[in-house]
Amino acid sequence: MKPAEQPSLSVERLSIDVGGGASRRRVVDELSFALYPRRTLCIAGESGSGKSLSSLAIMGLLPKAASVPGGAILFDNRDLLSLPERDLQSLRGKRIGMIFQEPMTSLNPLLTVGQQLAETLRRHEALSRSEIHQRCRAMLDAVRMPQVDKRLTQYPHELSGGMRQRVMIAMAMLCQPEILIADEPTTALDVTIQAQILELMRELQQQFATSLLLITHDMGVVAEMADEVVVMNQGRMEERGSLHQVFTDAQAPYTRKLLAAVPVLGSAPPPDVMTEQPVVLAVQDLSVRFPLRHGWFETPRTVHAVEGVSFELRQGETLGLVGESGCGKSTTGKALMNMLSYQGSVKLLGQELNGLQGDALQRVRRDVQMVFQDPYAALNPRKTVFDLVGEPLLIHDKMPEPQRRERVAQLLQQVDLPRDALERYPHQFSGGQRQRICIARALALNPKVIIADESVSALDVSVQAQVLALLERLRAEHGLSYLFISHDMAVVERI
């Protein structure tokens, strides 16, 4: 970067408020940074730090409840904050592209991949149908999507998480924008897919001479991608500097705390062996198979999702179930909860679970709870946090509301959420905070076994460390057992 080089994008003392009247609060406070051509600037911070709202402000996509009381966002000698909506629409997707945090909620479930890519091109360029098809096909090929012609005709739900993210990248890069904003593009992807996505973004950045603004809570991703780093905490900029400066000579205590919380494989002491403890969960020859048929005249096929899995989980023990996307980890967890039909034997506290139904299954489920992988899908958007976390207490214990409210408040405190979260709704929380709500709900009935399916993969590193420490403390105090499903070996080693 030359000293005289002009930035592609300048953010100057940007402030963002949410709410109105007495409930108004500042969520971004005088944020400033410059993004230079062909460089990567990472904004790092935990959930609720204001990093995603800052990126939405650049795109002119802030929610109605948010306002900008001060600051400027300069692009091409114009302040984006003062542009009319029509001018912003001409910039979005064409000169400034964005990859949103959750592809499943960003992609239209009713349109095929090809239709969604074509819509982006039609909005900004006058091309024939044939030219649009060729451009879409070429871009999917550029993001190394396998079987391109097949993917163009598929819907988002038919793709894996990694494939959906490739579609999002292809859509953002179709018009070869000068700036690409990527908001948590690898959250919850397994390490192999994450590495592929990051490498792909690097290659496309070089190919199209794009400036990259990368939003992430993962300091490992920052180390891999950044030229410059901005660290945010509760809306304020804690630190700004080059990658080398921030990682080797961090000045802010908060930055040093973030770096110290990153799990490192090989740093944990050897686990205690619990061969003398009783077995709480015994799995023998577990298999899950799905029938598969694409047409009336095709021969039915069977997908062997899980085949011949056996293990024992003892009281007070944590057993890691590790593997990449598609290997059957989550399917195994759902089978253990009797959410899927399976073959084989699953015994909880000596009781066979295979075939249980109705009241008998409900009684067993108070002793085994699950934290699901996707907090967006696991929480009912129409219920408050009190209703969501307190629901198991109402169903299983018929607990009156005053006692239930106090118990839910205690659970929220354990997962570092404030008491005033009780009456709020899931959409009012960040992704990491939503996962903590799911963990609180799983802890509500004091179960004997918790199945955690990628339960910390979407959390910030410091919150991740807090949650892992919480799970470890509960295990030690109450003799809990965990089946910990993850793609991250360093996290598995720590727990």
Q: What's the sign of the alpha-carbon dihedral 432, 438, 443, 448?
A: negative
457 CA to centre of own chain:
7
**pLDDT the model gives residue 191:** 72
Instruction: Say how many Å lie between the first and final Cα of the chain, rounded.
Output: 42
How far is 304 from 288, CA to CA, in rounded Å?
A: 6
CA–CA distance, 83 with 158 (Å, rounded to integer): 38
Q: Tell me if residue 71 falls in helix, strand or coil.
A: strand
And the tokens for 237? 């900029």
| Residue found by looking up tokens 């400034």 in the block | 96
Per-residue model confidence (pLDDT) at position 59: 94
How many C-beta atoms surround the C-beta of residue 404 within 10 A? 21
Bridge-based pairing state of the strands 343-348 and 351-352 = antiparallel
Q: Which amino acid is at 444?
A: A
Q: Model pTM?
A: 0.72
d(Cα 134, Cα 132) in Å, to the nearest integer? 5
Residue-level pLDDT at 258: 86
Q: Give the containing element (helix H, strand E) for 116.
A: helix 113-124
For 393, the enclosing helix (H) or strand (E) is helix 385-397
Domains of the chain: 9-260 (3.40.50.300)
Contact criterion met (CB below 8 Å) for 333 and 304: no
Q: What is the pLDDT of residue 99?
A: 92
Chain position carrying tokens 């992988």: 373
Q: In 10 A of CB 352, how many CB atoms?
A: 11
Strand partners, 319: 483
For 88, phi then psi, to 5°, come to -65, -40
Closest among 186, 23, 8 to 95, alpha carbons compared: 8
Place of tokens 């005053």: 402
Q: DSSP states of 467-485 as a string?
A: HHHHHHHHHHHH--EEEEE
Instruction: Tell me 419's DSSP state.
Output: G
Q: What order of strands is seen across the sheet that includes strand 279-292? A: 301-314, 279-292, 343-348, 351-352
Write down the H helix ranges in 65-112.
85-91, 103-106
Query: Which two structure tokens, joined as six digits, stand for 59?
Result: 């795109």
Give CA–CA dist 181/196, Å, rounded: 18
CA dist 410 and 488 (Å) reads 30
Neighbours of 261 (CB within 10 A): 17
Q: What is the pLDDT along the chain (495 residues), one digit of tens a residue?
A: 544 689 999 999 999 999 888 888 999 999 999 999 999 999 998 878 899 999 999 999 999 989 999 999 999 999 999 999 999 999 998 999 999 877 777 899 999 999 999 998 998 888 899 999 999 999 999 888 989 999 999 999 888 778 888 899 999 999 999 999 999 888 767 777 788 888 988 998 998 899 999 999 888 889 999 999 999 999 999 999 999 999 999 999 999 988 887 766 655 556 666 667 899 999 999 999 887 665 565 666 777 888 899 999 999 999 999 887 778 888 898 889 888 889 999 999 999 998 888 888 888 888 999 988 778 788 999 999 999 999 999 999 899 999 999 999 999 988 888 888 999 999 888 767 888 899 899 989 989 999 998 877 767 777 777 778 878 887 887 788 999 988 777 778 777
Q: How far is 470 from 352, CA to CA, in rounded Å?
A: 30
**Nearest alpha carbon to residue 313 among 345, 338, 349:** 349
pLDDT score for 299: 64
